Chains A and B, each alone.
Chain A
Amino acid sequence: MNATIVAGLLLALIAVAYRAGWSRSVSLAPAAGGRLHSRPVYHGALTALWALAPALLVLSLWALLADPASRAFILAQLPPDVAALDGPKLEEAVRRIRQIESGLGVAGGAAPFENAAAQALAEFRTLAFAAVVAAAAGTGALALLAARRRITARLRARNEVERIVGWLMIACSVVAILTTAGIVASLLAEAVRFFTFVSPADFFLGTVWRPGFSTTGHGAGGEYGLLPLLWGTLMVAAIAMLVALPIGLMAAIYLSQYARPKLRNAVKPAIEVLAGIPTIVYGFFALVSVGPFLASAGTVLGLPIRATSALTAGVVMGIMIIPFISSLSDDIIRQVPKGLRDGSLGLGATQSETIRRVVLPAALPGIVGAFLLAVSRAIGETMIVVLAAGNSPFLRLNPGEPVSTVTVTIVNQLTGDTDFASPQSLVAFALGLTLFAMTLVLNVAALYIVRRYREQYE
């Protein structure tokens, strides 16, 4: 309701201001001999932007102040004995009144003073909202009038609008930097809090993962050794690459060097379908099909393979990564200059000899880059391992046994938990930081290699 009113107000303000600026500039045109510096649309847009800015400012100020203001109001309404309470009890009293006001009702029935306070709060909120809307509309209208008065035939409205648009674009570009900064800052801040419970040496070098439960009391109360998780992550990623690299690379070679265009155009999108499938689907596939299949195959071969194991998760993750490797390598192989191939073929080498001795070595840096990007994906992949790796954080060599990974543990430690006070949930951020650092190194290295490779042949 309120959001609709605010949106309606802003839209009306924009429309009126645009129209005012537009008609004003048009009416000025004959006096200036029909020559305005800017077209009327720019005058309209400039007026609208000027009118919008103060209204938005007022509204965002209120968005910041509404909560403290209503809290202060509630405190003023409370009888002295309740207001004298402190800490959680006072919070509880405030929360109850807010709940009554929003019509939800509270446990144990409402005291008369609570009902009165809620009633007053409701009136206060309505009044405050009306005042804010009126203030926004008023300042907007004033700014509109001021902007309209500025309009002359020579006003450089277009340049001003373009400058504002330019700043807007820069602001949008900064969002990407803010995201990275936000990731680094939040991970670091929470990880540092975690390291006040557990020393970094114990975390990075510990070989036992046994975090205990946060309900058994605060304090460390458990062992947080990263190595078992890291080992599981690397084992699953390695198995995934063993599956994905040969299949992805051979598919890319065949499609780019041997296949006729018709076959290529049919097969390439079909393989890329694999890239569009959500990872949760792969996880389910691993859990109900691949896992039992591998387990029974293991029984036939006499190998003890569990249904949820590093092997299951790794194989399915490899399938997921195939299109990633194949389309990246395909791009890279096609960038190898034709002259190299033709030279080799002209000397009498067979096609496969050309590919193995000339094309692949030339494309090697690019393929290494693609490989690194794929490894970074495998390390960061979550849902497949959550469902299919078995969640058993022990240092084990056998890939047929269940493992746990960094990502699985992040999910387990943080799911549904918002009380970031215990090491049990804070450890997720330390793990996230480790994961982020690993993938960052891999990505930067890969992007650097791929870029250098592209420049080499451009």
Chain B
Amino acid sequence: MNAQERLSLIRAGLSARHAREKRFRLYGVAAIAAALGFVAILFGMILVRGLPAFTQATLSLDVAFDPAILKVEDKPQRREGQSPAEFRKALLDWERKVTMLNFNRIVEQAVRAAAPGTTADARQALSIVETNARFQLRDMVVADPGLIGRTVRVDMLASANADNWLKGNIDRSLPDAQQQLSAPARALADQLHADGRIRFAFAWHIFTNVDSRSAPAAAGLAGAFVGSLYMMLVVIVLAVPIGVMSAVYLEEFAPKNRFTDLIEVNINNLAAVPSIVFGLLGAAVFINWFRLPLSAPLVGGLVLTLMTLPTVIIATRSALRAVPPSLRQAALGLGASRTQTVFHHVLPVTYPGILTATIIGVAQALGETAPLLLIGMNAFVAQVPATPLDQSTALPVQIYLWQGNENRNFFEARTSAAIIVLLALMLTLNAIAIFLRTRLEKRA
């Protein structure tokens, strides 16, 4: 084959080869487009579903605290010579009596006063107001008994069903049997909305209320939020010192032998152990053996600490490895001991790296769900935990609980809203990490 023939052979194949090149590039572009598309679809779907849940139908009604219904003696005052215990008892008795009053009737009258022509009966009228309204009114009376006999404008949450109806989450053309609100109640809700008595207000209670089953519209994330906060504190307090110390040991002091090799393999392997296995460890060791309480943020924090530890160790080690040896040699040359060299000169250079690793580890721990289910953190807890040993839930577990709620129409949006809160927290953490890293690196 002479040169001429070879050249023509190559030329003949050239267009096919170029076409193949183009196709290959196109596959690459398509792969990237797909990956970015998934990111966009995921965030878009969460935002579209979740954002409406941040505003909620709120009634503002003129509530008449009718003394004919609210028959109760005056709030007890502390008398001369009454011991604190006796006074407390009298006060509690009084509060109990207030609680027994028929606040539902007050709510119903307020609804009727706002829509005089309604055909709804008592049940139907109450079905558009969330069930926690009576407790809200009771708390107002307990705080200020002078309200009885007066008429005050009060903002109350509309019920989950009314909220769904007004937001159009339910097909309005469905027959009565498939509607959650009765026909008069739906008309009542529409009328109040048209009159401006029901408006859509920002749902602050998502952040300030605890979870609630009886009053789904008033369910909030406060308990889960504090539970997650406690767990993050435990993780930071334990994982960072232990992780950094062990990274420093392995990188700067450890002799090369079987034992340190074992630790090394161990840490790499732990980083890839499925999170649910850590949950099994927590259930068997912390709960069953040490008898720590179920559903406690302390136990959750311990489990998450063990999970986060490899992340912190691996990142700290790579930060330590990046420190130039000249720094160590200079310090050692000036007569510093090895410990002084490491703790006074090498470690401070790695602070940005350690900080970033910590925050990334904490963000990871914040989003972890599976191990927490195994140590009982999926319990329904309607309280803000006061200490890390109290029963509590966590943000991702709250999402898990809400997505399983049978009132799908309402809780799908609520779940997405909780996801938005969780993602916003994680994004904030990551943004802080990036910000601090760039700042600290500039200074160093």
Contacts and interface: CB of A to CB of B under 8 A. Distances in A.
B337 A168 contact: no
Contacts of A446: 272
Contact of A411 (B18, B366, B373): B373
B186 to A, nearest CB: 26
A68 interface: no
A251 B45 CA distance: 24
Contacts of B416: 284
B358 to A, nearest CB: 15
Contacts of B162: none
Contacts of B415: 284
A273 B46 CA distance: 15
Nearest to A243: B34
A380 B396 contact: no
Interface string A407-424: 100110011101010000
A267 B32 contact: yes
Given A179-B306, A251-B32, A439 B25 contact: no
A246 B27 CA distance: 9
Contacts, number: 257
Given A176-B313, A415-B373, A289 B274 contact: no
B242 interface: yes
B269 A444 contact: yes
Nearest to B402: A284
A271 interface: yes
B331 to A, nearest CB: 14
Contact of A418 (B32, B45, B288): B288
A326 B278 CA distance: 27
Interface string A422-433: 000000110010
Contact of A273 (B25, B39, B266, B277): B39
Interface in B296-322: 306, 309-310, 313
Given A186-B284, A254-B28, A285-B45, A177 B39 contact: no
A430 B279 CA distance: 14
Contacts of A254: 25, 28-29, 31-32
Q: Which of B34, B41, B374, B422 neighbours the largest number of chain A CB atoms within 10 Å of its CB?
A: B374
A274 interface: yes
Contacts of B262: 177
B35 A322 contact: yes
B367 A382 contact: no
A343 interface: no
B30 interface: yes
Contacts of A386: 370
A357 B93 CA distance: 85
Given A280-B399, A414-B283, A418-B376, A250 B266 contact: no
Contact of B370 (A174, A258, A279): A279
A416 B400 contact: no
B263 interface: yes
Contacts of B373: 411, 415
Contacts of B147: none
Interface in B366-421: 366-370, 373-374, 376, 378-379, 396, 399-400, 403, 412, 415-416, 419
B400 A382 contact: no
Interface in B248-292: 248-250, 253-254, 262-263, 265-270, 272-281, 283-285, 287-289
A138 interface: no
B374 A415 contact: yes
Contacts of B249: 166, 169-170, 172-173
A223 interface: no
Contact of B287 (A169, A283, A380, A418): A418
B127 interface: no
A148 to B, nearest CB: 23
Contact of B285 (A162, A177, A182, A350): A182
A250 B374 contact: no
B38 interface: yes
Interface stretch (A24-32, A82-90, A195-203, A371-379): A371-379
B340 to A, nearest CB: 8
Interface string B29-67: 111101110110110011001000000000000000000
Interface string A315-347: 000010011001000000000000000000000
B21 A350 contact: yes
B31 A246 contact: yes
Contacts of A172: 241-243, 245-246, 249
Nearest to A189: B284
A270 interface: yes
A175 interface: yes
Task: Provide the main secondary structure of the chain B interface.
Answer: helix
Contact of A380 (B243, B276, B309, B376): B276
Contacts of B400: 280, 283, 383, 387
B169 interface: no
A352 B400 CA distance: 45
B5 to A, nearest CB: 17
Interface string A261-303: 0000001001101101111111111011100000000000000
Contacts of B38: 274, 319, 322
A381 B281 CA distance: 16
Contacts of B263: 173-174, 176-177
B104 interface: no
A76 interface: no
Nearest to B10: A348
B102 interface: no
B441 to A, nearest CB: 17
Contacts of A418: 283, 287-288, 294, 376
Contacts of B274: 376-377, 379-382, 407, 435-436, 439
B423 interface: yes
B246 A278 contact: no
A261 B426 CA distance: 27
Contacts of B419: 280-281, 284
Nearest to B419: A281
A173 B25 contact: no
A382 B245 contact: no
B282 to A, nearest CB: 9
Contact of B368 (A278, A287, A411): A278
Given A175-B246, A281-B42, A381-B274, 20 more contacts: A169-B245, A176-B246, A176-B313, A183-B280, A189-B284, A246-B31, A247-B31, A276-B367, A276-B430, A277-B367, A283-B400, A284-B399, A288-B45, A350-B20, A350-B21, A376-B274, A383-B400, A416-B294, A443-B272, A446-B272
11 contacts: A162-B339, A183-B280, A247-B31, A249-B31, A251-B32, A267-B36, A276-B363, A319-B38, A352-B20, A353-B21, A446-B272
Interface of A: 158, 162, 165-166, 168-170, 172-177, 179-180, 182-183, 186-187, 189-190, 246-251, 253-255, 258, 267, 270-271, 273-274, 276-285, 287-289, 319, 322-323, 326, 348, 350-353, 355-356, 373, 376-377, 379-383, 386-387, 407, 410-411, 414-416, 418, 420, 428-429, 432, 435-436, 439-440, 443-444, 446-447
